[in-house]
Amino acid sequence: MSRLVVVSNRVGPVKDAARAGGLAVALVEALTACGGLWYGWSGEISNDSDGRLRMTQDGDVTLATVDLSEQGYDQYYNGFANRTLWPLFHYRLDLTSYDRRYYETYQQVNAQFAEGLVPLLQPNDLIWVHDYHFLAFGEELRRMKCDQSIGFFLHIPFPAREVFITLPRHDKLVEALFAYDVLGFQTDRDRRMFQDYVSRELGGEVWENKARAFGRTIEVRTFPIGIDTRHFVGASESPEAVNQYTSMREMLKGRHQIIGVDRLDYTKGLPERFEAFERLLEDYTDIHRKVSFMQVAPVSRTEVEEYVDIRQKLEGASGRINGRFAEFDWTPLRYLNRSFSRHQLAGLYRASRIGLVTPLRDGMNLVAKEYVAAQDPEDPGVLVLSRFAGAASQLRSALIVNPYDVKGVADAVYDALHMTQQERRDRHQTMMPDLLAHDVNIWRDNFIDAMRSIERREAA
């Protein structure tokens, strides 16, 4: 069996994979099965150019990490990755930086990372590159004469052509993507957006799961990422989850809870969500004291200005909403900037009548899937889900909303609060089989199989 090499922005640690959740566990499992290598950024910044590669063995998995220089951290990580690609691919042209220096450094860092990996590679390795930090990684490997099978999975959306072409040298980035053998997207929509760009902007050819341009034909496929559904169902019944569930229910004193769990990011639609909750309280006074909303949002990317702004905005909004509506024995909105363990989260989801997942744009959104998996099948809660999350293409029995339409979201939450137990059960029952059939292990195996079939075809 060929060895698997995973390349991603952050690496391991293997022992903590369970804490990090489904994706890390699924990757570690595949790496362990073949004595694989996991390669990426160490999370450290150093300007020392010698010995930047660190190798450690963790069970059967080799971890190899490289530090970023200060310039790399500023212009590649905080710059092109998080100030250009992240907002642009999430349709936030207003927040996108078009600084050309960022692009140059992005190319250089991708080349340096590729250079660091080449001496570690074996001839039959399958190389699986993850996400927007490494769009140009495969092209750099090819430049260094790597002929292994290389796949790339984009965890975030691929934007519409008119949005993407606002990026100077958009064609160079797509040319780089043609160095991969398999390109994976979260949804058919993302895949079609990519194919649309190839045919209309580049004059390339696209058919079924293929695209041809720059003299290469590549596989272009949809691999919707899942959660470790069985494990998450189990987690929701674990003692830790039951504890969390019980103390939450005691605290709620018979009130219904609405829960939101997101990284604090402007793509997640949090200000609009707070506004929708405020609108709910304004329009439906009958639910005062009967419902409370808990938003869990650990801070992320604190060095990017837009993340500081959104934090301030949310602190202002939560103060305003509680100031307007709270009573001495009722706090309508609780806003927590902290993390919970997977088991605690499962308990929180299960204790909540509504999962409110309203990103303005999201590649998939795993929280939506976790919320459904954690429910008690006999008395499940209702998922209210943004149509702009990739998950909406699978979780069709959720209440699907437009997150920009504050009134529409408020009304959907009101309907969810009044939904009969039978309807809640029916909706839950239609979503669970899909979550079980398309879990994170299937996602991983399907992607690796797609890379292997390329390898077999080339050997034939």
x/- mask, ligand ADQ, residues 272-311, rule CB under 6 A, reads ------------------------x-x-------------
Please pick, from the candidates 12, 347, 363, 381, the single residue that binds ligand ADQ as defined by CB under 6 A: 363
Burial class (CB in 10 A: 0-12, 13-18, 19+), 125: buried
Name the catalytic one among 67, 262, 265, 362.
362
- Enumerate residues 62-91 that contact ligand ADQ by CB under 6 A: none
Among 88, 129, 167, 367, binds ligand ADQ (CB under 6 A): 367
Name the one residue in this structure whose structure tokens are 């043609």.
Answer: 178
Q: How many residues bind ligand ADQ (CB under 6 A)?
A: 19
Give catalytic status of residue 256 as yes or no: no
Binding mask 328-357 for ligand ADQ (x = CB under 6 A): -----------xx----x------------
Rank residues 260 and 332 by Cβ distance to ligand ADQ and give the closer one. 260
Closest approach, Cβ 65 to ligand ADQ, in A, equals 20
First to last CA, the chain: 17
Chosen residue from 84, 105, 195, 365 binding ligand ADQ by CB under 6 A:
365
Decide if 38 contacts 68 (C-beta within 8 A): no
| Token output for 221 | 């496929």
Please, what is the minimum distance in Å from the beta carbon of residue 423 to ligand ADQ?
A: 26
Q: Which of the ranges 196-204, 308-316, 363-371, 420-428 carries the binding residues for ligand ADQ, by CB under 6 A?
A: 363-371
Distance of CA 126 to the CA centre of its chain: 23
User: Are 434 and 112 a contacting pair, CB within 8 Å?
Assistant: no
67 is catalytic: no
What span, in angstroms and rounded, lies between the C-alpha atoms of 387 and 393? 8
Backbone angles phi, psi at 129, to 5 degrees: -100, 135
Q: Which residue number, 108 or 339, has a Cβ lying nearer to ligand ADQ? A: 339
Which residue, 279 or 361, has its beta carbon nearer to ligand ADQ? 361
Contact flag: residue 384 with ligand ADQ (CB under 6 A): no
User: Positive or negative, the Cα torsion across 248, 250, 252, 257?
Assistant: positive
Q: What's 220-268 look like in SS3?
A: EEECCCCCCHHHHHHHCCCHHHHHHHHHHHHHHCCCEEEEEECCECHHH
Among 261, 291, 372, 454, binds ligand ADQ (CB under 6 A): 261
Instruction: Report residue 262 as tokens.
Output: 């997101």
Please spell the DSSP secondary structure of 33-61, one letter per residue.
Answer: HTT-EEEEEEEEE----TT-EEEEEETTE
| Residue 200 C-beta: closest distance to ligand ADQ, Å | 26
Q: How far is the CB of 166 from ligand ADQ (least distance, A)?
A: 21
- Measured CA to CA, the distance from residue 76 to residue 299 in angstroms comes to 21
Segment near ligand ADQ (CB under 6 A), from 6-14, 366-374, 393-401, 428-436? 366-374
CB atoms within 10 A of CB 429: 12
Q: Nearer Cβ to ligand ADQ, position 199 or 402?
A: 402
Which one of 28, 366, 409, 448 is in contact with ligand ADQ (CB under 6 A)? Answer: 366
Judged by CB under 6 A, the residue of 52, 210, 249, 263 near ligand ADQ is 263
Beta-strand pair 149-153/182-185: parallel
Q: Is the sign of the CA dihedral 111, 116, 120, 125 positive or negative? A: negative
Closer to ligand ADQ by CB, 13 or 116: give it: 13
Q: Residue 195 — φ and ψ, nearest 5°?
A: -65, -35
Residue type present at position 459: A
CB of 98 to ligand ADQ, least distance (A): 22
- CA 25, CA 193: separation in Å to the nearest integer? 30
**Which residues are CB-neighbours of 403 under 8 A, at least 6 positions away?**
269, 272, 273, 358, 359, 360, 386, 387, 388, 409
Smallest gap from Cβ 68 to ligand ADQ, in A, equals 20
- Which entry of 155, 170, 343, 428 is annotated as an active-site residue? 155
C-beta separation of 358 from 384 below 8 A:
yes
Q: Which of 6, 156, 383, 440 binds ligand ADQ (CB under 6 A)?
A: 156
CB of 372 to ligand ADQ, least distance (A): 13
Q: For residues 13 and 298, what is the distance between their CA atoms, to the nearest angstrom?
A: 20
Bridge partner residues of 362 (DSSP): 389
**In the complex, minimum distance from the CB of residue 391 to ligand ADQ, in angstroms, rounded to a whole number:** 7
Quick one: which segment of 8-16, 24-32, 51-59, 358-366 binds ligand ADQ (CB under 6 A)?
358-366
Closer residue to ligand ADQ (CB): 206 or 220: 220
Nearest to ligand ADQ of 17, 367 (CB atom):
367
Residue 317 C-beta: closest distance to ligand ADQ, Å: 19
Nearer to ligand ADQ, 225 or 321 (CB): 225
Residues that bind ligand ADQ (CB under 6 A): 21, 155-156, 225, 261-263, 296, 298, 339-340, 345, 362-367, 370
Catalytic residues: 155, 362
